[in-house]
Amino acid sequence: MWKWLCLTAVAACNFGHNRILEHEIDGSIPVDAAQLAPDAPGPVVDAAEHLDAPAGAACTVVPQDGCTGSAPACDLTSADDGTLGCRAVTHAGIGDDHCADDTACAVGYTCTHGSDATDDPWCARFCAHDADCEGTGSSCVIDLVGAQGQALDLDVCSEACDLVGQTGCPSSMACYGFEDGSGDYTDCDYPGTAALGSACSVDQDCVAGAVCVDHDTKVTCRPICVVGDDTTCAGDDTCEGFTVPLTIGSDEYGACL
């Protein structure tokens, strides 16, 4: 049994993050951000199988309540219908940890998985509001849905991570920034293999630490950087901000050109 994730901001779940995935740069002014395919699904992610939470146990995920002893965590069960139950915790994994199943995640977290079965799953924090999420860039923006696309009325946080330093994500995953009308946020995803300067269609085509930008008639992978701090770029490159700013915490981000 699998559970998918999608953004709560999306009226109809597109089985993925409805994100600003490509950034267009205007040659006459700092970077112009444009979403070329606003309704296209982003990377598909789901949750690892929920085999350890007995159906019917009365508990809540936010706040965590109703579970004690050898099964202290309230989590989704294998019923794939939003049913909650108490489970064990064998390893207290959090948002920057991978997991084999739910028991590898701490109380308050669940084990989520990408659409590619070869990718390792990771722990995600349950939430009801942004205040339930921890760290700069983490927001309560992801809905859980069942294997058939049915809403489960539960949300998890995006992951707080460092866009330039590329820290805060589970191993082999990359940190990305996403524009959102209610507040920009960060999250982790598996990166692509397109090197800096190579052609791309979306950010996730590029290697970790790069964004896909349209500049001077070319759409290529460029390093992400902090606007106003050219030391976050290599050599003589400067950090150009997006026309629609991408702001995480107190920092505005752009691309090295």
- Give me the residue spans of the domains in the chain: 20-39+160-256, 46-156
Average pLDDT, the chain: 80
pLDDT at position 223 over 70? yes
The whole-number pLDDT of residue 84 equals 94
pLDDT at position 6 over 60? no
Give percent of the chain above pLDDT 70.
Answer: 77
pLDDT at position 197 over 50? yes
The whole-number pLDDT of residue 46 equals 52
pLDDT at position 20 over 60? no
pLDDT in tens, 80-124: 788 999 999 999 999 999 999 899 999 999 998 766 768 899 999
224: pLDDT confidence band, cut at 50, 70 and 90? very high
Q: Could you give the C-alpha distances from 37 to 22, 93, 196, in angstroms and in order?
A: 9, 35, 22
Between 52-61, 122-131, 133-142, 165-174, the lowest mean confidence (pLDDT) is in 52-61
CB under 8 A, 24+ apart: contacts of 102-105: 102/48, 102/50, 102/51, 102/52, 102/53, 102/73, 102/75, 102/76, 103/52, 105/73, 105/75
pLDDT at position 169 over 70? yes
pLDDT at position 234 over 50? yes
pLDDT in tens, 134-163: 999 999 999 887 777 778 889 999 999 999
3: pLDDT confidence band, cut at 50, 70 and 90? very low
In sign, the C-alpha dihedral spanning 209, 165, 249, 114 is: positive
The whole-number pLDDT of residue 217 equals 87
Within 10 Å of residue 192's Cβ, how many Cβ atoms? 20
